[in-house]
Chains A and B, each alone.
Chain A
Amino acid sequence: MISSLLAVEIPYWGQSLLRVLGGLVAVLLPAGMIVYVFLFKMMSFMQSRLGPMEAGPYGSMQLLAEVSKWLQKEDIIPENADAKIFKIAPIIVLASTFLLVVVVPFGPDAWMTNFQAGVFYALAIGSVSVIGILIAGYSSANKYSYLGGLRAAGQLIAYELPMVLAVVGVVIQAGSMNLQQIVVAQNTQEIFGLDWIGFPFVLTQFVGFLIFMIAVQAELTQAPFDMPIAESELVSGYMTEYSGFRFLIFFIGEFATAGVFAFIASILFLGGWGVPFSWFGWDTIDSVDNWMNVVGPLIMFSKMTLLVGIIMWVRFSYPRFREDQLQRFAWKVLIPVSLANIAVTAILKVAV
Chain B
Amino acid sequence: MTVLNERQQLSYIAAQAADARLNVELETEGMTLNIGPQHPATHGTLRIIARLDGEQVVWAEPVAGYMHRGYEKLTEVRTFPQVTALINRIDWLGSFANEVPFILAAEQLMEIEAPPRAQYIRTILFELSRIANVSLFLGDLGVQMGAITPVFMAFRDREYVLNLIEGATGGRFHPNFDRIGGLKDDLPKGWIAETKQVMKKLRTFCDEIEDLLFGNEIFQSRTRGVGIIPADVAKSYGMTGANLRASGVDWDLRRDQKNAMVWDQADFKVWTHPDGDSWARCWIRLQETREATKIVDQLIDNIPAGPVMTKVPRIIKVPAGEAWVSTENPLGEMGYYVVSKGDLGPFRVKIRSASFNNISITPWVLKGVYVPDIITILASLYFILGDIDR
B10 CB-CB contact with A under 8 Å = no
Interface of B is mostly: helix
How far apart are the CA atoms of A324 and B372 in the complex, in Å?
10
Most buried by A among B149, B156, B371, B372: B372
A47 touches B152 (CB 8 A): yes
Residues in B with CB closer than 8 Å to A224 are 146, 218
Residues in B with CB closer than 8 Å to A260 are none
How far apart are the CA atoms of A227 and B144 in the complex, in Å?
12
Residues in B with CB closer than 8 Å to A325 are 221-222
Interface string of A31-66 (1 = CB under 8 A from B): 000000000000100111100000000000000000
B374 CB-CB contact with A under 8 Å = yes
Most buried by B among A233, A320, A325: A233
B148 CB-CB contact with A under 8 Å = yes
Number of interface residues of A (CB under 8 A): 26
Interface of A is mostly: loop
Residues in B with CB closer than 8 Å to A322 are 221-222, 370, 372-373
Known contacts A143-B33, A322-B222; is A232 also within 8 Å of B152 by CB?
no
Number of interface residues of B (CB under 8 A): 31
Residues in A with CB closer than 8 Å to B35 are 233
Partner of A233, one of B31, B218, B374: B374
B371 touches A319 (CB 8 A): no
Q: Which of B354-387 contact A (CB under 8 A)?
A: 370-375
Q: Nearest chain B CB to A138's CB is how many angstroms away?
A: 14
How far apart are the CA atoms of A226 and B218 in the complex, in Å?
13
B260 CB-CB contact with A under 8 Å = no
Q: Nearest chain B CB to A276's CB is how many angstroms away?
A: 34
B145 CB-CB contact with A under 8 Å = yes
A48 touches B41 (CB 8 A): no
Known contacts A147-B371, A231-B40, A235-B40; is A319 also within 8 Å of B145 by CB?
yes
Known contacts A318-B216, A325-B221; is A232 also within 8 Å of B144 by CB?
yes
A82 CB-CB contact with B under 8 Å = no
Interface string of A303-318 (1 = CB under 8 A from B): 0000000000000111
A214 CB-CB contact with B under 8 Å = no
Q: A-B pairs with the 5 shortest C-beta distances?
A: A320-B146, A319-B145, A47-B152, A319-B147, A233-B375
Besides A46-B149, A147-B55, A320-B146, 11 new A-B residue pairs in contact (Cβ under 8 A), listed by A number? A47-B149, A47-B152, A48-B152, A48-B156, A143-B31, A147-B371, A318-B218, A319-B147, A319-B222, A322-B221, A325-B221
Residues of B within 8 A of A (CB): 31, 33, 35, 39-41, 55, 142-149, 152-153, 156, 212-213, 216, 218-219, 221-222, 370-375
